[in-house]
Each structure stands twice: as structure tokens, then as C-alpha cells.
Structure 1
Amino acid sequence: MSSIDTPSIHAIIVMVITAVALVFYSRPNIPMATTSLGVLVLLAFVFSIYPAQWLGRTLDPMIFFSGFSNEALIAIVALMIAGGAIVHTGALDPLGRFLSKVWNYAPPLAFLLVLMVTAFLSAFVNDTPLVVLLIPLLTGIAIRTQRPVSRMLMPLGFAALMGGMTTTIGTSTNLVVVSVAQSLGLPPMGMFYFTMPAIIAAGVGMLYLWLIAPLLLPKRQTPLGDQSPRLFDATLHLGEDSPSVGKTLADVQKIAPGLRVRQVLRGNTQTMVPLADIVLRTGDRLLVRDYSNKLKEYEEILKATLYSGEQAVSEENPLQADDQQLAEVVVMPNSFLVGRSLANSLFAARFDLASLGIYRRGASLLSKDLEKEILRSGDVILVQSSRNTITELRQKGDLTLLDATTDLPRSNKANLALLIMLAIVLPAAFNWLPIAVTAPLGVLFMVASGCIEWRQLGVSVNSSVILLISAGIALSIGLVKTNAAHFLAQSFLTVTHSLPPTFVVGMILFFVAALANIASHTTGALIGAPIAVQIAHGLQLSPEPFLLAVLFGANLGYATPMAYQTNVLTMNAAGYTFLDFLRVGLPLLILMGLLISYLLPIYFPF
């Protein structure tokens, strides 16, 4: 084995910046975007005041910003917007209703179907909003069937991770590795370039999640309950057999505690203010607004028919929240709300806002006594109202609204959004057009057709991901062009020179997987990719299996809750502990890692 070259001062600087970035990326209190921007600025600054030589020429420090023009980054941004449109239009709601129906007939098979559908969708759609959509579905099913939801949600999150690793667009981690590979001069990878070994490993992992993981997970009461923070406007139609007929509205509200009637409609034209002494008649229609489960409860108590628009509510015609937005209101120190409750400040009537929850210094309050909670300075109130109302409040400045305004999903553009998403994926899947072309084109059609509006594009795009990928490309360029990656690869080969290449691939995979679980999945991808390529060059072997070992290792974020965003979501929803992830995720990580280490040299020979 040849001796290890001494690293240059520029190589040492890049390695130090990389090590500091690793530490900062692993700190939850430091925003990932801040660290990424710091890496970009620091590299450009250092190489401007202290230039480096590359192939006989001075290295242009502006090369560290080249990641912003990378085609993979363009594809990522467009896909984030397209995925946001899918969520915004409620295009996945029918899937949730279908899975709920199947569960009534064969729960074990339905659970397997949920896992498989989740994995399939996460290969093309961002897995975080997908898991957000499916958590309430599984929670509701668990409550109805009296099953512990804690045995369902962790397998759901892991299934999304497995599906995400099967395509180049499945996760931002995959796109980071693919974009870094291209920046290092390797040929581009198609959408399904590494799908086959991923599917084989995921198939085995899916059986583990279906049959073994639920047995390892404890029975815990979910802290979520069966509510989702969304209010619906609906109409209760009173029939002849309704116990409310002939009674005053005050008496009816005693029968159905909590019922708040906004208007009473009688006949075709008469609209009445809901006074307490109004005597209700057959055929009256009560305009109400509440959570879906409460509305269904009132329907049952009053023996009325619940309508959404012109149609009775059913699984085929669910409750709609058209033109409704969620927003966050901050209680400032000088606000009239400080020291008062939502009820005694007449918050709802004064601003035409429905309160859904209160966020207070790390605790979310979604209780029945929400209206009675005494507000404090710094509280954030989650509210819902029409788009016009939210806009007027922001313009008037009566309340301090955060910019995190979100439209509630609507379904009138759902099929169109799915069709456009299909038009994005298929040409790229068959290599007719690159994904960097089809994705922006699809976004253009989504905006033009009204699936998503220009003002919502900023909400869909995650600036942290953009900066992260750009910083990753910058670090890779620095590691390669200063020969720091060559030095690190030589050091690794000195230790592993007597091992077969398959073992080396496995060591890279498990090393990156450890980084992914201890720090973050992006950390392993950013640092591992350029070093893996240099190790392959040092062994004079094809770099593909080594690079893909980094990609798959970064996706094996099963052993800790901080490894991936979906782990945090399921942890909060089901009340998991760190040991729960270790008990279920570590065996899965070892199983998947060994399988992939064995399969990579078969599908991508050295």
C-alpha cells in the first residue's frame, strides 16, 4: 500500500469546515439553513483571500456557488411545488377513504396495504406531507377498531423511508447524492437507476414492519386523539322524527352540548338569527361550524341529516372546507388579549375567526377548554377563517399574524393535480425527458390551471433544502479540488486494504448509516459521497456501488427519532421513546444494510 500524501493547507481548511458543519448540522437548536449558508459563505471567503491552485490554475471561489444552478436542485424545487399542489388539492383524500373501507373487512391485510401504498407514493411524493396525511387516518382507524395506534405509526414512517430510497426523486437525500455525483463528473442517474436492489431490500423490510415490528412496539395511548385541526361549515337538516322539532334553540343546545348555530334557514328565503327562544320546525336547516367528529355527533343526537353544500355527507361526499385558510396569530405583550380568554374577549365574534389551538413555549393546547384558557404574552393561536377575512386582518393590522398562512385542502382540482404529477414522472421514468425539464413544466401547468397559486409557491419550497444541497455540492467541490477527499480515501484504504470490495462497500454503508442516525441523513450524504468516489478510484474500481452505498446508508434512518423528519412526526403522534426506535429500528437497519451491501455488487459490478 502506498504512503499517504500529506494534505495541503487548503485541504486541511476544507476538512475543518466540514467537521464543524457536521457538528452544527447535528445540533437541533441551530437551523440547517444557517449552517448551510455559513458553509457557502465561508468557503467562498477563505478561497478569495487565500487562493488555491487546481490543475495549474487559480481556483475561482465563485465555483462554490455553482450548486444553485445544478439541474438536480431545479428538479427538487419543482417537485416540492408539485408535491405541495398534491397536498393542497386534497388529491390523496380518496385514498384515505378507500383504505378506511378496506380496514373494516381485513385489518391485517389492510395494514399491509397501507404500508405498501405509503412506500409506493413516497417514491414520487415527499414523504413528510404523506405521513402527515396518513397519521390521522391510522389514528382514527385505531380508535374505531380499539387497536393500539402505537403499533402502527412507526411502521408507517419507516415504510415511507423505504419507498423514498427506491427512486432518484424519492427523497432530498437521493437528489443530494445524485447531484454531488454529477458535480464530480459521473454520468447522470435515471429515475429508476437503482430501483431494483432497493425494491428487493424494501420487500424484506416491509415483511418485518408488517409481522415483527408491531410485536416489538408497546401499547401506548396516543396523545393525538381523533381530531384534526380543521373546522367545517355544514348544514343540519331537521326531519319529522328529530327530537329538536317543536323545541326552542336553547333546549336543543341542552340536548346537544356545544352545538353552536350560526343561522337558521326556513323555507327557501327566510334566514333567522339563532336566538335562544326560536322554536324549530320540520324542514329547518341549521348552519353550523365544528370539527368533523362533533358534526357527526350532532347529526346522530338530533336525528338530522348532515349536508355539505347541496349533498348529504357520506364517504363519497366528505365535508369540504372550501376557501378556508389556517393562520397563526401572535399574542404580543401589549395586546388586549393578554390576561383574557378567547371567550371573554369575544375573539371569534370580533374577528370572525375560529380558534383551533394554542401553542405555548413548546406545548400545544388542543383541549375542550380552549376558549377558557387565559392567554399569555408570546402565545400563538392557530385560527381558521375565509381567505378574505385573513387578508383583511393582515392589512388592517388589528392582530399580529405570522406569515405561515396555509390554505386548507380542496378537492375540485385533485384529479387534475394527479394527472399533471403523472405527466411529470412518466417522461422522466422512460428517459424521454429529464426530470429537470418535466418538473418545472408540470409546475407551470399546475399554476396555470389553478391547482396552486403563485403566492403559495414560497410555502411549498423549503429554503433549507435548497441551501443544504448547494452547501453539499460546495463541500464536495472543496474536498475534491483540494485533494482532501483523496487524503481521507487513502486513510480509509490503509485500514481496509486487505478486505474484499464487498466488505468495503458494507463498511461505507454502515458508517454513513451511523452518521444518518446520530447527526442527520443529510450529513452522511454530504460527506460520504465524495470520499466514496475517491475510495473507488483508489481501488481502481467502478465508483457506482460505493456511491450508492452512501445513498442507501443515508436512507437507513431507523434507529433514532432525530434521523428523519417523519420519525419525529410519528414519535409525537404515538408517544414513542428513544428506546422504542432503537428496539425496532436497529434490527431493521442491520437487516436492510446487510441486504443492500450484498445486492449492490450484483447489480452494479465492480
Structure 2
Amino acid sequence: MIGVPSYHAIAAMVITVAMFIAFARGRMSVEIISLLTIAVIAVGLYFFPLPDTQPIDGLSLAFSGFGHYALITICALMIMGRGLVVTGALEPAARFLERIFKFNRQLGLLVSLLVAMLLSMGVNDTPVLVLLLPIFVQLAARGAMAASKTLIPLNAAVLIGGMATTIGTSTNILVVSIAVDLGMPEMGVFHYTPIVLVAAIVALPYLWLVMPRLLGDNRTENLHELRRFETRLRVTEDSILNGRELSEVVARLPADIEFDDVPLGLLRPNQRLRMTGTHEAIEEASRILRGDAAPSWVLDRIRRRSSETRTDIAVVEMTVTADSRLIGRTLPSSGIADLYGVAVIGIHRPKRLVGKKDDFSEGGNLRIAEGDVLLVLGLPDDLQLFARSDSLLTLEGMRELPRRSKAVLAAAIMVGSVGFASVGLIPIAISALAGSILMFVTGCVKFDRVGRALSGKVIVLVAASIAIGRIVLESGAANWLGSVLAGGLQYLSPAAVLAAIMLFVTFLTNFASNATAATVGTPIAFAIAAQLGLPPEPLILAVLFGCNLCYATPIAYQTNMLIMAEGSYEFKDYVRTGVPLVLIMVTMLSLALVVTYGL
């Protein structure tokens, strides 16, 4: 006879359901709901403490998430991901995938999903997603599919791949270890991989073709036409243009780049090419061609001062006002580089000014006019001094250039952190924390820019999910639910028994934690197998699979939270895309277990 749950267990279940409903409705922000959940647990346990505990213990439980290793791990991983982005370490991988996406977006997404699945079979889920996340954010910025349409499918692919081997996730290892302690033989690394691959083949079309359509586009639309800047690109000694014709390399340049008055024959050092394009296109073309869009001496000076002062180089757009002394002057005659140590790498002329008299000087240089927009590169203090002194109005916020000199170092730190964690030498929490500290010490990430790497929404959500997981376990709610499940399975077919166990564990893992689901579900499945006269292994595997079906809520797994800020996701996005995937996986895994074990 199943007893009535304690009032603590009832309260824990009510709080969990209430939090889910509040998240799903979306009327309050994630941060407010998370903080309210923590507050309710803290106040409730202070006045109604758990048995054999003190009121102060309830406060420790409610706020334990803010000091939990899982939160520290997530923050450290965010910092390392930021380091890869600001140093440009991921640009080669992003450009490779960008070529596939440009050839065919659907093919690019399919290749990405398959790579994610294969990697996560041998490497822990979290490091795999940490490596892929900033790449796909950069791909979105380069014009591929929006990050909001790719990150949830990518995360699901990583989780499916991690399910396929006993070393794919720490939860798999935990379930197998508990099963061995209960008397089952130890499973090999690929013991149940074929079962997962069957389900993955059925789920892949949903991830690839359906899931992106269920997600919105978080890219902001340009309400105005992108400005096109004119620049004079100088051919340098080490430029790929040196000794070649422009037509030989033009196919490698961004589509937005156009050339005017192209000289005939082979190009030589110090020749200048008149080039127009958007800000991003000019920057990319200069990198590919290894040419200079401003005098070499001022660019070298800016880089040297940046290295000496450890200050990032920035690019900003400024418009020329009626009071500016620059009106009527050309860039060579303006003295901008000498006076302020900044470099003007392009000029945008509004259409209303095009075609006016005296646009160009006798030397062919464009005369600056009121309303022109200058694209200026330099150190932040020098840029501000230039704007104030020459009556310029800043149009766009400063955009910092990647610190490419640190790219190899940042990549090495990330690979080292992921590598040590993947082979099991040290836990991911320790390797991620050590990696983030190295990012700070080596200057890959700066202390005053940490706020850009971390997401307050994710931090409070992680803390709330940890508190919910602990109260569900320590109040006895999880054990009571398991008892109810065991009491009703005797009337079901083997396939339905497996599906019910898997769904029960899936519920726990999506609202509590993987560890809670594994700790509670494995002994229950073993006991149910004995009661129903079924072999224990398929029921234990049902628990293992259920622990990995954490797609339906952002609080189910730390990778779900890692993508939340970058994809601009809401709670309902996980529910809308994750629930169908859970049903597909539960159905296919249950059938595959029945066929494999002849139930």
C-alpha cells in the first residue's frame, strides 16, 4: 500500500509544477520566476524545516545553487567561450562551416548535427557544446542560419550522441556504476550503441528539418541600408596580390566588395586599389589580401600602443558635422594620423552628396564633406579625442577588433581544458575553472569585460534548478513518485513498462537533475524488474536513456542553459521543440529495447 506523501514532498511537487507553469506562460521574466522560487523554498524551509534539520539548513539548501560547482562550471565555460570569440580563435573553423552553409544551408546544418553527435560519443557533452557554441554564433553573424535556429538542434544532437556510449556523459557512468553495485555485470563502452543509433536515425530528420522551423529568428533586421565605405587598399610586400592580377583572387573576397579603376597587369607593392564595401566586407578583404587600408606606419603604431597598454583596438563610425575643420580636406592633407594616432580606413558619402563639385582633389583623393561618415580605427581614448577635437558625431558604438595575437593561446587553453576533462584526468568543473583563470592571466579575456561573457538570466536559473532538485530529492517527493510508478506497472506490457520508466526518469531529469534521476531511478528499475520477472538490463537502460532525454526545459542540463542567452531562447522554446523529441526518442528506444532483448 502506497502511503500519503509528506507535506514537504507535496510542497516540493507543487513548487516544481508552479515554476514550470510560470515559465511556460512567460508573463514574468526568467530571472524573477527563478528568484521567487528560491525565495519560496528559503522562507518555507525556515518556518517549516525538513525533519532532523534546523531552519538555517533550509536557507543553505535554497541558496546552495549560487555556490554549486555546476554554476561555477557554467560560468567558467562561458568565460572560455568568450575568450575564443574575442581572440578570433574560431574563425578558421567558422569559415570552413560557412563555406558549407553558403553552398547549401540545409547541408551545412546536417553536417553540423552529425559532427556534434559523433564528437559527443567519445567526449563529454558539455565540452563538445562549448567548442561548437561560439562557432555557430559567429556563423550567424556571417550570414548563415540564425543562432536561435541552430543551437537547440545542435544541443539535442550532442545529447543524443552522449547517450550512445557509457562514457558519453557522467550520468551514464553513474547509472552503470549503480547497476554494478546492485549486482549487474559491467557494460562495455559501446554495449548499447546500436539501440541509440536506431533512435537517432529516426530523430535526425526532426532535428534537421522540423526543429529549426519551430524556432524564431533572433537576428535584428537592418532598418536601413548598410553603409558602403570607400577605401584605398595598399598592396604590401607579403600581400597575396603582389605579382598577381586582381582577377586571380577576387573570387575569394566577400560578395559586397567592389573595385574601381583596376590597374592592368600584375600588381606590385605600394600600388593602391580603390575599393568599396561594407565595414565587415572591407575588414575581411583586408585580412584575406593582407593589404593596408591606411598608412602602414600609423597601423603599426596603433598595434604597438595596443600591445604596450594592453588596450583593445576598436573601430567606430563618425559623421562629419558642419563645424568640423576636415570639410574640404582630403585624408592625406587632414593630418588625422599625426595629430591623434588613429587611422581612417574608409569614407561613406551619403547619396544626397554624391555628384557635387570638387568631390575629388587633383590627386584623385576624395574631399571630405559635411555629412560624410568616417570609419576610424584606433585606441578608445584616441578615438574620443579625435571626435571631440574635430567636431565629429559618433554614430555607432565602438566595436573591438579580435585580439588575433592571442588566438592560438586561447585555443590551446580551451583544447587543454576540454582534453583533460574528456579523458577523465580531472573533473570538468576543475578544468573549466583553471581554463578561465588562464584566460584572465594571459589576457585572452579581460577582467572588466567579464560581464559580457556571463548571463544573469542563466546564473539565477541554474541556482533555482539546483534548489528545486535538492528539495525534490530530500523531501522524499522523488521516492514517493517512484513508488507510485512501481505500483502501477504490473498491468502493462514490457514495452509500456520500459516507456513508463523512461518517461518517469525523463520527468525527473527535466525538473530536478540528471544525478537525482539516476540515483532514484536505477534502484527502482532494478526492483521493478525483480517484481515483474523481467531481465534488469533493459530496465536499467531505460533509466539511462531517460536521464539523457533532457530536451524539454532549460533547467534539465547545463548545456541547455549555456545556449539560452546566445539563442535568445525562452522557456517555451524548449517545451515546444523538446517535448516532440522526447516522445520520438521514448517510442523508438522502447521498441528497440523490446526487440533487442526479446521481451
Q: In the alignment, which residue of structure 2 is the partner of 1:67? A: 65
Q: In the alignment, which residue of structure 1 is the partner of 2:139? A: 134
2:512 is the counterpart of 1:526: yes
Structure 2 counterpart of 1:526, one-letter code: A
Structure 2 CA distance for aligned equivalents of residues 87 and 471 of structure 1: 29
Which structure 1 segments of 5+ residues have no match? 140-148, 169-173, 188-192, 240-255, 260-267, 269-281, 312-320, 330-341, 355-367, 372-382, 516-521, 573-577
Q: In the alignment, which residue of structure 2 is the partner of 1:332? A: none
Structure 2 CA distance for aligned equivalents of residues 459 and 179 of structure 1: 35
Asked whether the 8 Å contact 1:508–1:532 carries over to 2, the reply is no
Counting helix residues as a fraction of each chain, which structure ranks higher? 2
1:94, CA displacement in angstroms?
Answer: 0.4
Structure 1 counterpart of 2:452, one-letter code: V
1:553, CA displacement in angstroms?
Answer: 2.0
Query: When the two structures are aligned, how many residues end up with a matched partner?
Result: 468
Q: In the alignment, which residue of structure 2 is the partner of 1:452? A: 445
Structure 1 counterpart of 2:512, one-letter code: L
2:466 is the counterpart of 1:473: yes
Asked whether the 8 Å contact 2:315–2:401 carries over to 1, the reply is yes
Q: In the alignment, which residue of structure 2 is the partner of 1:27? A: 25
Asked whether the 8 Å contact 1:197–1:599 carries over to 2, the reply is no
Q: Which has the larger radius of gyration?
A: 2
Q: In the alignment, which residue of structure 1 is the partner of 2:45? A: 47
Deviations 1:534-562 (A, max 9, x none): 4544454489646544432223689xxxx
Asked whether the 8 Å contact 2:468–2:511 carries over to 1, the reply is no
2:68 is the counterpart of 1:76: no
Asked whether the 8 Å contact 1:532–1:546 carries over to 2, the reply is no
Taking a change above 3 Å as real, the CA distance of residues 442 and 20 of structure 1, as seen in their structure-2 partners, is same
Structure 1 CA distance for aligned equivalents of residues 211 and 162 of structure 2: 29
Q: In the alignment, which residue of structure 2 is the partner of 1:159? A: 154
1:87, CA displacement in angstroms?
Answer: 2.1
Structure 2 counterpart of 1:446, one-letter code: M
Asked whether the 8 Å contact 1:154–1:567 carries over to 2, the reply is no
Taking a change above 3 Å as real, the CA distance of residues 204 and 237 of structure 1, as seen in their structure-2 partners, is farther
User: TM (normalized to structure 1)?
Assistant: 0.57
1:411, CA displacement in angstroms?
Answer: 2.7
Structure 2 counterpart of 1:31, one-letter code: S
Taking a change above 3 Å as real, the CA distance of residues 489 and 454 of structure 1, as seen in their structure-2 partners, is same
Matches within 5 A, 1:292-331: 292-293=280-281, 307=292, 323=312
Asked whether the 8 Å contact 2:156–2:551 carries over to 1, the reply is yes
Matches within 5 A, 1:444-593: 444-499=437-492, 503-507=496-500, 509-510=502-503, 524-526=510-512, 530=516, 533-534=519-520, 536-541=522-527, 545=541, 548-555=544-551, 590-593=583-586
Which structure 2 segments of 5+ residues have no match? 164-168, 182-187, 236-240, 242-256, 261-268, 297-305, 327-341, 345-349, 354-374, 389-393, 528-535, 555-559
Q: In the alignment, which residue of structure 2 is the partner of 1:7? A: 5
Secondary structure of the 1:75 match is: helix
Asked whether the 8 Å contact 1:155–1:210 carries over to 2, the reply is no
Taking a change above 3 Å as real, the CA distance of residues 131 and 593 of structure 1, as seen in their structure-2 partners, is farther
Deviations 1:254-297 (A, max 9, x none): xx9999xxxxxxxx9xxxxxxxxxxxxx9457798833347889
Matches within 5 A, 1:339-350: none
1:130, CA displacement in angstroms?
Answer: 3.7
1:416, CA displacement in angstroms?
Answer: 1.5
Deviations 1:560-601 (A, max 9, x none): xxx9996998899xxxxx9xx98x988765543334446789
1:155, CA displacement in angstroms?
Answer: 6.8
Q: In the alignment, which residue of structure 2 is the partner of 1:291? A: 279
Matches within 5 A, 1:394-433: 407-433=400-426
Structure 1 CA distance for aligned equivalents of residues 443 and 593 of structure 2: 43
Asked whether the 8 Å contact 1:80–1:461 carries over to 2, the reply is yes
Q: In the alignment, which residue of structure 2 is the partner of 1:441? A: 434
1:237, CA displacement in angstroms?
Answer: 3.7
Secondary structure of the 1:53 match is: coil
Asked whether the 8 Å contact 2:312–2:400 carries over to 1, the reply is yes
1:482, CA displacement in angstroms?
Answer: 2.3
Secondary structure of the 1:26 match is: helix
1:162, CA displacement in angstroms?
Answer: 0.7
Structure 2 CA distance for aligned equivalents of residues 257 and 106 of structure 1: 25
1:179, CA displacement in angstroms?
Answer: 13
Q: In the alignment, which residue of structure 2 is the partner of 1:338? A: none
Structure 1 CA distance for aligned equivalents of residues 445 and 594 of structure 2: 43
Matches within 5 A, 1:188-337: 201=196, 205=200, 209=204, 213=208, 235-237=232-234, 283=271, 290-293=278-281, 307=292, 323=312
1:14, CA displacement in angstroms?
Answer: 2.2
Structure 2 CA distance for aligned equivalents of residues 567 and 448 of structure 1: 28
Aligned sequence identity (%): 21
Structure 2 counterpart of 1:75, one-letter code: T
Taking a change above 3 Å as real, the CA distance of residues 455 and 467 of structure 1, as seen in their structure-2 partners, is same
Structure 1 CA distance for aligned equivalents of residues 74 and 212 of structure 2: 35
Asked whether the 8 Å contact 1:163–1:202 carries over to 2, the reply is no
Structure 2 CA distance for aligned equivalents of residues 68 and 26 of structure 1: 24
Asked whether the 8 Å contact 2:19–2:33 carries over to 1, the reply is yes
Taking a change above 3 Å as real, the CA distance of residues 530 and 297 of structure 1, as seen in their structure-2 partners, is closer
